[in-house]
Amino acid sequence: MNDTHEVRITTQDRSARCPADQSVLEALLRDDIWLPHSCTQGTCGTCKVRVLEGEVDHRDSSEYTLTSHERAAGIALGCQATPCSDLALEPAERVDPGDAVPRHPLRDHGGTVVLLDDIARDVRRLVVELDEPMGFNAGQYAEIRVPGTEVSRQYSMANPPSRSDRLEFHVKRTPGGVATDGWMFAGLRPGDRVELKGPLGDFGSNPPSGGAAIMIAGGTGLAPLTSIVRHVLAGESAPPLYLYHGGREQRDLYDAEFFRELEQHHERFTYRPCLSEQQWDGAMGAVTDVVLDDFASCKGLSAYLCGPPGMIEAGVKALKRRRMAPRRIFREEFPDASDNFAGAR
Ligand code: FES
């Protein structure tokens, strides 16, 4: 039988049982105990914890994300570290879990594919009807298991949380990829069963409220922003929202009609698709340059960026140049995105 250990978060005075082969982050989230996290892959460093008592196995934590100096100082990555004994932990950065959004426990789910549709170049819309609803916050993601393998892939929900029983994902094909070329773009059909776990991620923790928000998407980075936009616009006093979607050519853009219609019904919502390579009558250039052209100042505004690392880096630079406060910039990277600003995580 698998050993389990007690993992206590001192700042919340709560604890969970954690199997010796499970990450402390997963055990806490499954027990509805919140710990900041984003990638769950050991690359972003958001989940750093200070080990106050006990010992952990750092497993695959890389020197890049967790330096030997940090390890020596008792820091661990919550999404990688497994317990070797009972533990007392605190988040490495003091964060107030806050009550801006509800928290939803991490759970395993099963569901049936009800829609699989090609919507852009190498992009499919996948809709899964779950056996049991999965509560989540707009901007979060789920991890979908590839059948017959040990492989899982992360995809953000594009539907608003009000449809917690029917999840929509935008899947970018990765040439030769096990999950996409080997399954979702090959054998997967409506009616097939899918296993996943969720919700995960921090991107939904600071929803737009009060001031205007600029949302910048590259490729399938549009998915979590669609969820946020739909959720916020369904509320009573939605702030002004400016949604930018970048691609190389028109065939990289999708759901344009949906957003144009949304514009007709919500005067505080603006949709700006941008193309970097094809001449057309819309905005031209890198999506982040179009934002720079549109805003003389971003002081007091907030921003949500989702897409490949290069786009995020350029976007953060552009927004800072326009005097947006760094603490108002929220980002979600899709590291494997292709050069047309599209991709799965
Ligand atoms: S490194 Fe743990 S959530 Fe990103």
Q: What is the pLDDT of residues 178-225, one digit of tens each?
A: 999 999 999 899 999 999 999 999 898 888 887 899 999 999 999 999
Regarding the beta carbon of 200 and ligand 1, being less than 6 Å apart is answered no
Domain ranges of the chain: 4-91, 107-200, 213-333
Comparing C-alpha atoms, which of 204, 107, 198, 186 is closest to residue 144?
Answer: 198
Regarding the beta carbon of 137 and ligand 1, being less than 6 Å apart is answered no
Tell me if 75 sits within 8 A of 51, measured CB to CB.
yes
Q: 49: CA distance to ligand 1 center in Å?
A: 11
Q: How far is CA 21 from the centre of its chain?
A: 25
Regarding the beta carbon of 345 and ligand 1, being less than 6 Å apart is answered no
pLDDT in tens, 215-227: 999 999 999 999 9
For 126, the enclosing helix (H) or strand (E) is strand 123-130
Regarding the beta carbon of 79 and ligand 1, being less than 6 Å apart is answered yes
Give the C-alpha separation, 26 to 37, whole Å. Answer: 10
Q: 78: CA distance to ligand 1 center in Å?
A: 7
Mutate to test the pocket of ligand 1, among 44, 59, 60, 140 (most ligand atoms within 8 A of CB): 44
Ligand 1 atom closest to the CA of 47, numbered from 1: 2
Q: Where are the alpha helices (DSSP H) in the chain?
A: 24-30, 68-72, 222-234, 256-265, 287-294, 309-321
Residue 340's pLDDT band, with cuts at 50, 70 and 90, is very low
pLDDT in tens, 274-312: 999 999 999 999 999 999 999 999 999 999 999 999 999
CATH number of 107-200: 2.40.30.10
* CATH class assigned to 4-91: alpha beta
pLDDT (0 to 100) of residue 237: 85
Q: Name the residue at shortest CA distance from atom 1 of ligand 1.
A: 42
- At residue 262's C-alpha, the angle toward residues 261 and 266, to 5°, is 125
State whether CATH 3.40.50.80 applies to domain 213-333: yes
